[in-house]
Structures are given as structure tokens and as C-alpha cells.
């Protein structure tokens, strides 16, 4: 919670109070001080952003080819694959796989 000085409207800072060992709010530009006597909690529920699938979601896997690749999760021998350039042009393409049996996804390169 931000508090502002009632005299000069600058933001108040928190410091240790020499007497009593508590905390106080103080202004850097004028002599205003205010002892903090109670705990103020104002929890805020943060809504998560909707994250886009960088591979294009389920639609990206509609028209892809199959290849023989062993799934690291279920040891199935076939997987869908696609290649995408995710780094700079002088780096090799990354190959993404999706298991035909368990839909596990992994990447090589």
C-alpha cells in the first residue's frame, strides 16, 4: 500500500522507529513521520494471462507427417513431426514430435 505525505504529497518511505522498535512512515522532503501501529494486508488475486501456444496449438498438428521416432514417455515407435526455425537463420531447425499413441510432445535440436 502506497502512502503519501499529507503536507507535500511525496511518497512516504518505511523505516525502523528508534523508540519501541516498530516501524514508521516518513517523508524525505519534510519532517513528517507517522508510526505504523497495525498490520494492513490487502491480498490481490492475480489473474493469469492466456498464453498462446508457440507451436500453433492443436491446429498446427493437423497436416503433419508421421515418422519412426521412439516416445520417451511410452516407448511407442511412431510420432508426428514438424520442423520450425525458432533460432536465428544460421542455426539448424528444431524438430518437434508428438507421439501418435499418448500425445506426449518433445523436441530435438
Domains of the chain: 1-42 (2.20.25.10), 57-108 (2.20.25.10)
Reported as a pLDDT band with limits 50, 70 and 90, residue 38 is confident
Average pLDDT over residues 18-39: 85
Question: How many helices (H) and strands (E) would you count in the chain?
Answer: 0, 7
Which residues carry a binding-site annotation?
5, 8, 27, 30, 71, 74, 99, 102
Q: What is the pLDDT of residue 41?
A: 79
Is 68 within 8 Å of 77 (Cβ atoms)? yes
Is 107 within 8 Å of 94 (Cβ atoms)? yes
Average pLDDT over residues 46-71: 79
Which candidate, 37, 38, 35, places its Cα nearest to that of 14?
A: 35
DSSP codes, 1-20: ---B-TTT-PBPEEEE-TTT
Position 40 pLDDT exceeds 80 = no
Q: How many residues does the chain have?
A: 109
Which residues carry a binding-site annotation for Zn(2+)?
5, 8, 27, 30, 71, 74, 99, 102
Amino acid at each position: 500500500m502506497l502512502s503519501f505525505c499529507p503536507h507535500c504529497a511525496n511518497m512516504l518511505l518505511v523505516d525502523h522507529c528508534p523508540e519501541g522498535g516498530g516501524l514508521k512512515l516518513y517523508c524525505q522532503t519534510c519532517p513528517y513521520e507517522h508510526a505504523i501501529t497495525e498490520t494492513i494486508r490487502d491480498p490481490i488475486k492475480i489473474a493469469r494471462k492466456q498464453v498462446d501456444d508457440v507451436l500453433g496449438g492443436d491446429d498446427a498438428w493437423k497436416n503433419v507427417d508421421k515418422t519412426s521416432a521412439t516416445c520417451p514417455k511410452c516407448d511407442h515407435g511412431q510420432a508426428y513431426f514438424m520442423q520450425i526455425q525458432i533460432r536465428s537463420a544460421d542455426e539448424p531447425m528444431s524438430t518437434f514430435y508428438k507421439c501418435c499413441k499418448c500425445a506426449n510432445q518433445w523436441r530435438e535440436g
